[in-house]
Structure 1
Amino acid sequence: MSTGVGLERVAVRLPGRVEKVADIMRRTGHDPAESRLFKTLFGLRHSPSLAPGEQWEDLLTAAGREALGGGHASLVLYGHTLLTQEFALRGGFADRMRARLGLPGSRFFGLSHINCVSVLRGVELARRYLRRPGVSPDDRVLILGGDHASVHDASRVMPGMAVGGDGVIAVAVRPHGRARYRYLGGAASRDARFHRKDLSADRAVLFSQICREQAVDTALRAVRDAGLTPADIDWVMPHLSNRMFWSTFGRLTGIPRDRICTDLIPERGHNFGGDALMALEHAESTGRLRPGHRCVLLSLALGAYFQAVIVEVEED
């Protein structure tokens, strides 16, 4: 168990337009029956999308500035899933972001090819970075997350799983001392049999089974790494793609269903690697979190990848 770092408050930025998931799926040629499945069983109804004239990079900058709160970070990690986004269509993204965030001398790296676990993996990498010899107690890592999904509608629809939106998150990780969420433990896993995006019907069924098993296993290993048991967990901040999935997760882990924060699924849906931190920010803003509460942040991804982080809420 490691207790060396903490997460400061999470900043979320959403675009000015919300689309119906059914409209996105119709526009991309998906079967109406699948659209009904997403709505009735998965609970997916709306997805945030950039409004005309909005720039996705502006959302990312605003979230990053809020998370920094006027402070500094020596390292910026941007976790993303999609490889073709608006900013990638013109060069200089990292330099522009450094300048706009007021971090011209900081190192900037992207985390990709692990899909929707990239943001929580960034937390783990930040923890390692901040445990290096001679680190300053004032040092910080800024983590950015999210994808400009609406730049290419076909890529935002994950058949049988979810529809991705344009929401972004940012959070600063620092040596523990003045952070809102103290890091208690974590775990990761992967199953390389599913490295291809397009799965046959049989492999899609197997993928769903493995996702259930590995999400539970990864979460429970993270709980053990934190020196806890499932009975010690107050909240689960999940991957916001499928309401049914989390009902099964609660049954298999013994964590009560009302402690799994899925209420953002209908109004906001899936926003790639930012989901778990969006759920944490929402629980904070709605007054659910109290000092001493322990939370599981959990992401899963095509590939198949899984990442869990356990945090404890500190005094504000």
Structure 2
Amino acid sequence: MDFLRPGSWAEALEAKAALPDAVPIAGGTDVMVEINFDHRRPPALLDLNRVAELAEWSERDGRVRLGAGVPYARIIAELGDRLPGLAMASRTVGSPQIRNRGTVGGNLGAASPAGDSHPVLLATDADVEVASTRGVRMVPAVEFYRGVKRNALEPDELVAAVHLDVARGPQQFAKVGTRNAMVIAVCAFGLALHPDRGRVGTGIGSAAPTPRRATEAEEFLAAELADTGLWESRGPLAESVRRRFGELVARAASPIDDVRATAAYRRHALSVLARRTLGWVWDQYREGGWSACA
């Protein structure tokens, strides 16, 4: 196995173009596990740790460009006020050691249905910036996931960054696991209110072949908030609305039975997570505060 260590982004793209089967590695929290268990034996590893710009983030015109190499620990520490949903999801990733190394870029590259960042990226209408020696293109998160551990990257492309709007409404993330920490999600759910657009965003994780949105649930809740004037009045949300929202979220999933849970349990848990996160975001919205990572 060859080990490639480019010193710049241009060199990294050239290396990927020359050897499309090379697997990029930064934190290594997914790739090294697969290699250690002999589940994967790529012809080359493309180490991106010397590419400084991947570990940077910036904000412009209300939108954050998050470099693919920014670790979860920095998202929590530096971006909780701007990207509260992603910071919440980052808090649930592995151990402190994993959060110091793991990245959203790596999560996207692995494209596991259980990746913790995916539900929030979907709920917040994120865009994935991908690049090659041929140029740069933007892929909406909703179009990035193509199958179990399959993504929209071409063989010569690398994830450069993720683009997310600074939160203009409350966001939440919750997941269920077999224990409280260092666990792969049995199911996960991300929720974001976009009051400036009268829209609701959702993301389901670990309950379908790919991360996915619950579009029927989004449309139901957005219409309910608009038709009853709740966007403006910020009045209490009826329990029947929360219950119906949970039902629609569960219906959007396509779970399976596996060693972590049954499909029936996943649907039930998603319904509960949806109701709870909706209660949390609506309480935050009524109080007018959401720019902090819980």
TM-score norm. by structure 2 comes to 0.29
Q: Which has the higher contact order (CA 8 A, sep 6+)?
A: 1
